[in-house]
């Protein structure tokens, strides 16, 4: 993998055009394009979208949202955490460390992370140190979430 830098993506129509190269797999996924269209306000607004460029081409992307501790059903004690959504690397760039670079970037915030993996991606998330969450099943919403815990953070045991 060449030098890759994860950067915050601008919320604008140029980014929307770059998103058209990505395809979502699995019918449970919403497209990031819809998220981006809903967030287009100003070119310089802080966005929840991050990506890696190879030259001028966006080759990897993800959404990263901070969740306030009052909505925390996963960690003990309750705290702010990140939700990592829709991590995707273009097929020609898969298996070259770009997905890991994106996850490592999310981990650098040193907050717990929750993700809902795509079908057939559990092996990737296990390699990244994510584990199955213990939580209130009524709040599952069909997600089957996985979590990553920074050192010293405990997950809740809800039965």
84: how many CB neighbours lie within 10 A of its CB? 25
Terminal Cα distance for the chain, rounded: 43
Q: Enumerate residues 6+ apart whose C-beta is below 8 A from 19.
A: 31, 32, 33, 36, 58, 61
CA 7, distance to chain mean position in Å, is 13
Give residue 107's pLDDT.
Answer: 96
Q: Mean pLDDT per 10-residue run, the chain (159 residues)?
A: 73 67 48 53 65 89 90 82 90 93 95 87 91 65 80 63
- What homologous superfamily does CATH list for 6-155? Gcn5-related N-acetyltransferase (GNAT) (3.40.630.30)
Query: What is the pTM for the complete model shown?
Result: 0.74
Give residue 108's pLDDT.
Answer: 95
The residue extents of the domains of the chain are 6-155
Beta strands 81-89 and 57-67, pairing class: antiparallel
């Amino acid at each position: 993998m060449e030098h890759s830098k994860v950067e915050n993506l601008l919320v604008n129509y140029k980014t929307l055009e770059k998103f058209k190269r990505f395809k979502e797999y699995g019918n449970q996924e919403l497209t990031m394009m819809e998220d981006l269209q809903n967030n287009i306000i100003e070119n310089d607004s802080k966005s929840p979208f991050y990506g890696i460029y190879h030259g001028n081409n966006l080759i990897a992307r993800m959404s990263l949202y901070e969740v306030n501790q009052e909505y925390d059903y996963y960690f003990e004690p309750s705290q702010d955490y990140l939700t990592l959504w829709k991590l995707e690397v273009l097929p020609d760039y898969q298996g070259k460390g770009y997905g890991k670079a994106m996850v490592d970037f999310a981990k650098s915030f040193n907050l717990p992370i929750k993700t809902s993996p795509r079908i057939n991606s559990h092996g990737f998330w296990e390699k990244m140190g994510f584990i199955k969450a213990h939580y209130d099943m009524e709040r599952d919403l069909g997600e089957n979430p996985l979590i990553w815990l920074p050192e010293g953070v405990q997950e809740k045991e809800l039965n």
